[in-house]
Structure 1
């Protein structure tokens, strides 16, 4: 299906394979998010089987953009959203550098109208979440569209080749003192090593251990387990099978493994992605029974950030969600926005409700006691059989 929009030719595609070559060409642009990359989206599509609604725009015969969307049904409303939206830290879409430089407000409006036209009868609402309207010095082609600020912000730490200069942006003296104390406490029991899982077996074993550690942590805090679904776990396992370059990868597992008294035990795990000079922490977990006084999770962040500096990365991204440990590490806070495009009558109602939900969540998150109470309710719902989880927190 095609909608001609001024000089743009915009088409709808229901499979990924025919677009792979031009998709991979667009994803090579450093401004385009890793979460719209071909491998990331393919792993999700294989494990979730939602109908795909991929929007491609061409100008002058050249691919100008690809928006990888899937259609998800919830509460009788069909929403077209970014593939794997719930587990994405940032959604830029895939735009060519020329298109980003030349696009304007009128063209953004034309694109939004074309999308709703193409999806009429297939979806009720286009729900494009977690879009930074400005990212790494460039404006999104969608910046001129009406948007609502998402309740979750993302947090980043700029990196330099010199790790000491990097932590110099923070309270460096206090950080160094804390790091030395962590190392002393662990060395008193035999020491540790920071390692990256390399073999398929080691990757699979470590990821399954992460799921176990995270489940224990969520239960202890009375929070819903967002990694519980088998298809979600299968998605992350598939990402580990992707052959990345020496640095770029959709998912790499780091861990702190103890020696001596706790020989072979894993105290902390983190999953990192990298695209170009942008490193993203996708998830993390700790074994709270192992040396909690040494804060192995914080230690692992120090080690991963130090390694990222050595490997030439320019940005370490802690992802979505406002947690105290992120504020201790980060100097940059990125505001993200949601763009809602109703298609049907049900979509108009859902759009109105979604705006209210986002505003309500922002209020709840500003009240720690209320937020804790709501999380306990969600945790109880998550334990019930056949209970679907939401798309965000």
Structure 2
């Protein structure tokens, strides 16, 4: 293995390694590893324009995540770029190393906020790294990275664009939750008419009429920074209340999360990927949504509504339909409800995909961490995939939350 990589011109990296994939064809893959966003920005942005990838691995998303959330945890950025012929990228792996009580673990950057994690792949990745070769390449990547005890790469889809995720060559286990999405037609009214039952459409119209009787009902896409921030504030406040009510951890209360959503949403004024919107009734905030717009797909990620005042009118559904109409008008062909198996998604989604986890020990300490992690994930998957167990778990969680509130 040579330490002489291809000429990267302005792309300076901390490590350059050559990996010869097939001696008979003289095929080599060169690796470079970047330890900061600024150094990787040019190659990353250029590559994601034509590569197969998800919004969660885009430069803008992870750069904002790191600035507001990632740096607080002390994660060590390990952005791996695999280069093929003519110094053209074949793959980018946005990785990082975190230190915890269980040891040093290799994770996806943005792991706390990403619904999907996957490599960024060149359209010809499979032609350059043949089936069965990725496991060798991955082994060399691990040996090139700084020492770590175990690998924890969670929530991976089987496909990345039209390509098979190369991590499927490694040992993967089914995640506790799947993902759901729907293919939208160019004419949203036609799509809506075919997707919803007559009863559902009547209820929707009736509730909209009732809301209009309370006050003018309109769906708002803020176009000023201060209005975007106000919309985020309202959405996060309502979502935090909803999480506390069911006893779920309020991740939005953690340092940096509010700023993350605000900064990414404000970038939409300059064609960024974050988008916030909300439903107003008589000038009052009734329901809101936050998501990402990336490569013809809308990612539906954060939603909540004012239950005490408007809950009987299903304002969340009213907001969702308006958001889907807007996404269709913006030429999004796929509306992605993202991770989670909530029942309402079945009313919209004809596409379901499983997600997978990869856990791998790299030291004796890592063996312990792997065993504990696998045990926890198995228990979580067992509970979530059993309706009776899940119902019991959520009921107990809510009771504990109420006990804390009134105890």
TM-score (norm 2): 0.86
1:186 partnered with 2:211? yes
Look up the match of 1:96.
122
| Match of residue 235, structure 1, among 260, 270, 273 | 260
Look up the match of 1:307.
326
Contact 1:104 / 1:141 at 8 angstroms: preserved in 2?
no
> Any unmatched runs of 5+ in structure 2?
1-14, 21-27
Which deviations, in whole Å up to 9, do the C-alpha atoms of 1:152-202 show, x marking residues without a partner?
111101111021332355343233222212211101212311011111111
Look up the match of 1:390.
none
Secondary structure at the counterpart of residue 81 of structure 2:
strand
1:371 partnered with 2:396? no
Contact 1:14 / 1:54 at 8 angstroms: preserved in 2?
yes
In structure 2, distance between residues paired with 1:267 and 1:129: 34
Cα offset, 1:10, TM superposition = 1.7
Look up the match of 2:145.
119
Secondary structure at the counterpart of residue 275 of structure 2:
strand
Contact 2:179 / 2:338 at 8 angstroms: preserved in 1?
yes
Secondary structure at the counterpart of residue 208 of structure 2:
helix
For the structure 1 residues 44 and 183, does the alpha-carbon distance in structure 2 shift closer, same or farther, using more than 3 Å as the test? Answer: same
| Match of residue 279, structure 1, among 279, 298, 311 | 298
Contact 2:246 / 2:401 at 8 angstroms: preserved in 1?
no
Look up the match of 2:155.
130
| Match of residue 326, structure 1, among 342, 345, 366 | 345
Contact 2:121 / 2:160 at 8 angstroms: preserved in 1?
no
| Match of residue 165, structure 1, among 171, 175, 190 | 190
In structure 1, distance between residues paired with 2:372 and 2:136: 25
Secondary structure at the counterpart of residue 99 of structure 2:
strand
In structure 2, distance between residues paired with 1:160 and 1:350: 46
| Between 280-289 and 5-14, the greater mean CA deviation after superposition | 5-14
Superposed, 1:116-265 pairs within 5 Å as 116-121=142-147, 123-168=148-193, 170-243=195-268, 246=271, 249-259=272-282, 264-265=283-284
In structure 1, distance between residues paired with 2:88 and 2:399: 50
Structure showing greater relative contact order (alpha-carbon pairs closer than 8 Å, 6 or more residues apart): 1
Look up the match of 1:10.
31
Cα offset, 1:295, TM superposition = 0.5
1:352 partnered with 2:371? yes
| Match of residue 37, structure 1, among 58, 67, 88 | 58
For the structure 1 residues 151 and 62, does the alpha-carbon distance in structure 2 shift closer, same or farther, using more than 3 Å as the test? Answer: same
In structure 1, distance between residues paired with 2:95 and 2:323: 32
CA RMSD of aligned residues (A): 2.3
Which deviations, in whole Å up to 9, do the C-alpha atoms of 1:185-238 show, x marking residues without a partner?
101212311011111111111111112111211222222212110222222222
Cα offset, 1:254, TM superposition = 0.8
Cα offset, 1:120, TM superposition = 4.3
Contact 2:84 / 2:128 at 8 angstroms: preserved in 1?
no
Cα offset, 1:296, TM superposition = 0.4
Structure with larger Rg: 2
Which deviations, in whole Å up to 9, do the C-alpha atoms of 1:56-90 show, x marking residues without a partner?
11112211111111222232322221111121122
In structure 1, distance between residues paired with 2:198 and 2:354: 29
| Between 140-149 and 193-202, the greater mean CA deviation after superposition | 140-149
Which deviations, in whole Å up to 9, do the C-alpha atoms of 1:98-148 show, x marking residues without a partner?
114543333211222022212342x22222211111245431122222211
> Any unmatched runs of 5+ in structure 1?
384-393
